[in-house]
Amino acid sequence: MKKYLLTLLVYLCCVHSYGQTISLFNLINLTSLNNLQAGSNLTSGKTWCLQYGEQVNGFLIEHYQTPGFTNKKETIIIGAGSKTSSGSILHTVSYITPNTQDVINLVKQTKISGLTMFFQGADKLDNIYIYENFLYHMVVRLSLDNSKGVIDVTQKQVFVE
């Protein structure tokens, strides 16, 4: 009887566990892909589903969400960017989650990815952290009321002499 009770307790604890669906390394890698490649990468594991796409300033912006009916949906936005004078496009990938712990877990991965903190501050809605390295610029916003966390990773223009 005790064995069944322990099994039931472990099962109920596992039902409420929540796993993070993306790593910082994967977010950074998505910035180097076009929409078709990034979308294929996100949907191949059936972890992300395309919700909708929209044209904004000549770019097709696509919104992907984790499937399910929970209020803990994570969102990845791909396709935003800026065009350089040479004609190349610097992509931006955004990650949005209602669970601020997910963003904190991703920020813990910054040392591995070579990003260093460049700025720490706050406005009336968010705590703001900016990380940079030679190739990427990352802005982290954590809402003061812990209702949302956002990470924007942008490619930087590299000048070669």
Map out the domains of the chain as residue ranges. 16-155
Q: How many residues does the chain have?
A: 161
* pTM of the predicted protein model: 0.82
Task: Please write the tens of the pLDDT for every residue from 53-71.
Answer: 999 988 899 999 998 766 6
Question: What's the distance, Cα to Cα, between the start and end of the chain in Å?
Answer: 74
**Cα 88 to Cα 156: distance, rounded to the nearest angstrom:** 11
Which tokens sit at 127? Answer: 């705590």
Architecture per CATH, domain 16-155, reads as 2-Layer Sandwich (3.30)
Residues 73-84: pLDDT tens digits?
899 999 998 888
Contacts of 56 (CB under 8 A, 6+ apart): 80
Quickly state the pLDDT bin for 8 (edges 50, 70, 90): very low
| Average per-residue pLDDT for the chain | 85
141 falls in which pLDDT band (50, 70, 90)?
very high
Residue pair 117/107 in contact (Cβ under 8 Å)? The answer is no
Q: Are 73 and 66 in contact (CB under 8 A)?
A: yes
Is-contact 128 143, C-beta < 8 A?
no
Lowest pLDDT segment from 9-13, 112-116, 142-146, 148-152: 9-13
